[in-house]
A and B are shown apart, each in its own frame.
Chain A
């Protein structure tokens, strides 16, 4: 299959890829994790893992996608060998599993934006009841449907007319909104206390291994490194496009947005909270919704004495959140669609299948928060394996060969040195092993029935669901490979 569509320039590629990386996790998850891990103590390892996890894996994804011009299954097969197509299929499963419930989360953001813009959000004083009324009803299904249809329509229009055109508007708009909120937040009285907390390191906990592991998982989930999404967009990068400099721009750009969002949220919480600010930031609530959907609406009602100004700031905050969610959801739908295209299905048909599947399989998450929590847990942790499979495929291909021929090959602006070989072949596998072991050990300590696959958040449920899909993919390995390369 000859590649016919490409991102029209370096900047549109970067903006679209930044849209993958910048998601709701930058805005709500980052602040919560910083607060739970001692502020400045967390930020130092977080920067280190940007350099030794996120950027090297983004480089890897760009390289694999650009050189193979295939979605994750074909790309891993082409890079690591045809007997490893199942690894690519697992990467697809993880991102698609996330897509099912992420569309629900996108719907929540849309609903809260509409509520904020209409002023309805401020008609209540008890935002927990407001949230519970909304999430327990049928509305999440409707907003999930709207989100999925909207994103399917964008992906249906293809790369240049759909994804590029939309992200070129959404990503800069999101950044402008965040900068407006940032300046409003840091000029609030007492905001400085929040900034001080945000950057103050606690020397006693900086050596705590949990802080380092949380910094690594935040980078893994936040930058989109290892998801296979960047790999999918890289299929559409022009041959003369650079890899390493673009990857650095995505990694640093994503973490820059997290810093802006973190300072904004800490400043707002410390400036406007009449109760213990820290307990509010760390409170996760159901499915980590506490800060964003329960506490922040309350804070927005206190930004000024004017209701119109409060409505304005609350509206643009939820609009930014919605934009961030949409740009990430687009890449997840494109990944699943591209996988079907690789199997020989035409884009139009592929998107209809994916959108229908996405809606139907997302409905349980829209109706039941425990189901959403379970899926978030199972596929969120699965991202560590996805990252490991990407790293493994490069090791199989030959790290030095990959670096010389693909990363530093035609189109590269910046040549990267042998340090990259060391990171991919030693540091990333080491990080994966340590992370998985830590996760298994800590799972056993917080849940005596850690092996039980029917619990919503434990090791057993992950292992059971991964085992089922991995068994199916290993059995179908030959068939999948044959279909992709025959269609190719």
Chain B
């Protein structure tokens, strides 16, 4: 695999999968906070 392929892979998979993971963690954090605040 050449350097261009590795960069593309990191860029694409990193953005898409990394972004998804980031947003899941963020959503879980907010849900936890809401639960703590006594919301259903």
Contact = CB atoms under 8 A, between A and B. Distances in A.
Interface of A: 10, 14, 40, 43-44, 46-47, 50, 192, 196, 199-201, 203, 240, 242, 245-246, 248-249, 252-253, 255-256, 259, 413-414
Contact of B16 (A196, A200, A259): A259
Contacts of B6: 199
Given A199-B12, A256-B16, A245 B27 contact: yes
A199 B1 CA distance: 9
Nearest to A240: B39
Interface string B1-40: 1101110110111011101100110110011001000010
A413 B12 CA distance: 26
B2 to A, nearest CB: 7
Contacts of B2: 200
Contacts of A10: 27, 31
7 contacts: A40-B8, A40-B12, A44-B11, A196-B5, A245-B26, A259-B12, A259-B17
Nearest to A255: B16
Contacts of B13: 259
Contacts of A414: 26
A200 B9 CA distance: 8
B1 A252 contact: no
Given A44-B12, A196-B1, A199-B5, A249 B39 contact: no
What does DSSP make chain B's interface, helix, strand, loop or mixed?
A: helix
Contacts, number: 69
A40 B10 CA distance: 11
A259 B27 CA distance: 22
A196 B3 CA distance: 11
A199 B9 contact: yes
A14 B15 CA distance: 20
Given A200-B5, A252-B23, 8 more contacts: A196-B1, A196-B5, A199-B5, A199-B9, A200-B2, A248-B19, A252-B19, A259-B12
Contacts of B8: 40, 43-44, 199-201
Nearest to B1: A196
Contacts of B16: 47, 50, 252, 255-256, 259
A54 to B, nearest CB: 11
A40 B17 CA distance: 16
Given A240-B39, A259-B13, A259-B17, A413 B5 contact: no
Contacts of A196: 1, 5
A253 B12 CA distance: 14
A255 B13 CA distance: 10
Given A40-B12, A414-B26, A200 B4 contact: yes
Nearest to B10: A199
A164 B6 CA distance: 40
B6 to A, nearest CB: 8
Given A10-B31, A252-B19, A47 B1 contact: no
Given A40-B4, A200-B2, A256-B20, A245 B30 contact: yes
Contacts of A50: 16
Given A44-B12, A240-B39, A201 B4 contact: yes
Contacts of A44: 8, 11-12
